[in-house]
Amino acid sequence: MVTPDFQRARRPEHKEQRREAILAAARALATRDGVRSVNLGDIAAEVGVHKSALLRYFETREEIYLQLTSDCWAEWIEGLRAELPGAKPTPAGVAAVITRTLADRPLFCDLLTHAPLNLERHVSQESVRAYKTTAIERVNTVSELIGDAVAGLGKAGGRKAVGAITAFAAAFWQVSHPPETLARFYEEEPEFAHSVMDFTGRVEELTAAVLTGLLRDGSPAA
């Protein structure tokens, strides 16, 4: 349980602590159980407050997870900044780093599925505007990082690559991490277990293919 050492947040610093406690609880629960399994009551119980108290800070459960999606983009950027300089400037070398930094961030991969599927659809226009504004800035940053890492790719090529890579990560994370009932089915019926993909292997393979294809297509370096 993530509970600040005060009962009612009145001072600005206490309100910020409560907000951060809510985000930390939502992150921990989603990392453990998956984003789709967590509801507002679960988060409130983890923080140690009534569900209505959460609504003073976030309008919906979806707004909480949109904020975490935005935070995860920033964390991925830091990971890429730390690791891409050491990668070989080739599609295969860069694909390996991109895939590793994604696999190290399971919550981000899970959120990449849920953000467009339902999180963006259950918040106010103001909230989705704030999220989209920040997300676009961070997509642009990732595009530049990837465009610079692959010789000849450029930002435009990097932007195309980001769209494909995050789509791969969103889809393959779900397939490679089946829910409990499906996992039990695969254990009992192993002939169907081939449906569970190797996340790292598949994302790395397809990321390298996309980067190679963009270079061959002469993606503009602007």
pLDDT digits (tens, 9 = 90+) for 67-121: 999 999 999 999 999 999 999 999 999 999 999 999 999 999 999 999 999 999 9
Instruction: Kindly report the pTM of this predicted structure.
Output: 0.87
Fold held by 62-216: Tetracycline Repressor; domain 2 (1.10.357)
Residues 125, 133, 66, 118, CA torsion sign: positive
Contacts of 138 (CB under 8 A, 6+ apart): 70, 73, 74, 77
Residue 180 has pLDDT above 90, yes or no: no
Mean pLDDT value across residues 119-128: 94
Domain 1-58 -> CATH class: mainly alpha
pLDDT digits (tens, 9 = 90+) for 136-163: 999 999 999 999 999 899 999 999 999 9
Domain ranges of the chain: 1-58, 62-216
b/e per residue 11-26 (b: at least 16 CB within 10 A): eeeeeeebbebbbebb
Q: Which two structure tokens, joined as six digits, stand for 218?
A: 């002469």
Amino acid at 14: H
